[in-house]
Structure 1
Amino acid sequence: MERWLALELASTIRHDGDGGVADDLATARETTLWIHHQGDRLGDPAPSGEHVADENLRLAIIELRRAVRALFARVVSPAPPSPADAHRLMPADEAIARLNAAAAREPVTPQLDWPLEGAPAVRLLSAENDPHVRLVAELARAAIDFLSGPQHLELRACTAPRCVRYFVKSHGRQEWCKPSCGNRARAARHYRRQRTDGAADPTLP
Structure 2
Amino acid sequence: MSALLSLEFSGTIRARRSSVTDALADTDGMTAWGRAHARELGLGPAFTATGELRDEVVELRQAVRALFARAVAPAPASSADSGRLPAFDVSLRLVNATASAVPLTPRLDWPPDGPPVARFVPAGPAAESARIRAVLAASAIELLAGPEREQLRACPAPSCVLYFVKEHPRQEWCSVGCGNRARAARHYRQHRAH
Q: Secondary structure of the equivalent of 1:31?
A: helix
Which of 158, 169, 173 is residue 172 of structure 1 equivalent to?
169
Structure 1 residue 122: Cα displacement = 8.3
Q: Which has the higher contact order (CA 8 A, sep 6+)?
A: 2
Is structure 2 residue 171 aligned with structure 1 residue 158? no
Identity fraction in percent: 44
Distance 2:50 2:45 in 1: 15
The TM-score, its normalising length taken from structure 2, stands at 0.88
The TM-score, its normalising length taken from structure 1, stands at 0.84
Q: Secondary structure of the equivalent of 2:131?
A: helix
Distance 1:178 1:103 in 2: 30
Kindly provide the amino acid, as one letter, of the partner of residue 157 in structure 2: A
Structure 1 residue 194: Cα displacement = 1.1
Is structure 2 residue 62 aligned with structure 1 residue 88? no
Q: CA RMSD in A?
A: 2.5
Match of 1:8 in 2: 8
Is structure 2 residue 92 aligned with structure 1 residue 127? no
CA contact (8 A) 1:14 1:165 kept: yes
Equivalenced residue count is 190
Aligned counterparts, 1:103-114, within 5 A? 103-108=99-104, 110=105
1:80-115: CA deviation from partner (whole Å, max 9, x where unpaired):
10000111221111110000111122144x478698
Kindly provide the amino acid, as one letter, of the partner of residue 178 in structure 2: C
Q: Secondary structure of the equivalent of 1:162?
A: coil
Distance 2:18 2:106 in 1: 48
CA contact (8 A) 1:113 1:120 kept: yes
Which of 70, 79, 85 is residue 66 of structure 2 equivalent to?
70
Match of 2:22 in 1: 23
User: CA 1:47/1:120 → structure 2, altered by over 3 Å: closer, same or farther?
Assistant: closer
Q: Find the structure with the greater CA-based Rg.
A: 1
Distance 2:22 2:173 in 1: 20
Is structure 2 residue 62 aligned with structure 1 residue 54? no
Match of 1:193 in 2: 190
CA contact (8 A) 2:38 2:44 kept: no
User: CA 1:48/1:119 → structure 2, altered by over 3 Å: closer, same or farther?
Assistant: closer
